[in-house]
Amino acid sequence: MIRIELLSRVDNLCDYTFNFCWHNRQLDPDAPIPNQDGTEYTYRDLTDALKTETEVHITGDVGERLAQAMGVDIRHLGGTGGIGTGITSRIFVDGDVGAEAGLGMVSGAVYVSGRVEEPLGNIIEVRSDVTGYHKFVSVTDLLCNHRPEVPVSNSLDPEDAGMRLVLNDGILRGTLCARCDCPVDLLVEGDAHNGTGILMRQGTITVTGDAGMNTGAHLYGGTVVVRGVVGEFAGAYMKRGVLLVGGGMGYAGADMKGGAIYSRRKIATSPPAEKTRITGADMSLIRKLVSASRFESMRYSKYKVGESDAYVAVPMRDGSLVMRKVD
């Protein structure tokens, strides 16, 4: 067991990506965690412990992005990109937790004695098995592995094809169903935060309100439906699957390799995504996904990878790539 006491908040604790250190290099995994009292643990010490199913106990309030990508074997750090070991890893926090806890989290559990700020990540509160703590688990883990957990609110029901979860508690969450690879059905009654369906391979997500940036980004399969408006870079880097939205803020389909984006209102795309002809099969799919009439389905636009021009990837200062047409 690792025990660490914090004198003030620290971000990105137990973060398996180390704040995406391969992109921005703002966090050194082997640097001592600041503001700890009487210990000299590094960021890597905590994640390594969790990977061996060693509990991590934190005393004091914690900053943002606790347990980001917890349970993932990160490809950029030499892993497979799938779900790693330590599926029963547990983090205990005696204090409050900052926003975006559990972004991209796929396994394990987080126990918090205080409150957790919104937006949350890919986590949901379930009935706690430890007195004095709220328990949070991964939505992906709950749905795909049929964990014997009981949500404290919302609705979880088994179906013939898989599990169905209805999130109606009004809590804003991001990266919902991250890396999901099972035939689940998730309904969000309201808005969603950034990264809905990121790296998803199977399943269906429906958001009745709006969704944030990177909705459907890196989609490898499955279906993401947002009846409202999505933020920038919707469907960026997607390879397969379907993203259907009411409208978008721009840069949709940036560097996409496959799949299809449908939008009720015209959206600004980024190469190589281009508007293409909508077919009868497309309209049938739209009617199925959003219960649209035949006339309504004809108003949608379809975007996919363009075939007529060549593009080159241009690295941006934040580490992302933007596709530019070759002159």
How many other C-beta atoms can be found within 10 angstroms of the C-beta atom of residue 208?
Answer: 15
Query: Is the Cβ–Cβ distance between 66 and 13 less than 8 Å?
Result: yes
Q: Is residue 178 included in any domain, yes or no? A: no
Same domain? For 124 and 200 the reply is no
Domain total in the chain: 2
Distance CA 227, CA 200 (A): 19
What CATH code is carried by the domain that includes residue 255?
Answer: 2.160.20.60
Residue carrying the six token digits 């890597």: 44
Q: Is residue 77 included in any domain, yes or no? A: yes
Distance CA 144, CA 27 (A): 32
Listed residues 134, 156, 178: the one ending a domain: 156
Sequential pLDDT tens for the chain (327 residues): 999 999 999 999 999 999 999 887 889 999 999 999 999 999 999 999 999 999 999 999 999 999 999 999 988 888 888 887 667 799 999 999 999 999 999 999 999 999 999 999 999 999 999 999 999 999 999 999 888 899 999 999 887 667 899 999 999 999 999 999 999 999 999 999 999 999 999 999 999 999 999 999 999 999 999 999 999 999 999 999 999 999 999 999 999 999 999 999 999 999 999 999 999 999 999 999 999 999 999 999 999 998 755 556 676 665 666 666 655
pTM metric for this prediction: 0.90
Distance CA 20, CA 26 (A): 8
Q: Is residue 162 included in any domain, yes or no? A: no
Same domain? For 225 and 296 the reply is yes
Phi, psi of 315 (to 5 degrees): -70, 135
Query: Is the Cβ–Cβ distance between 223 and 241 less than 8 Å?
Result: yes
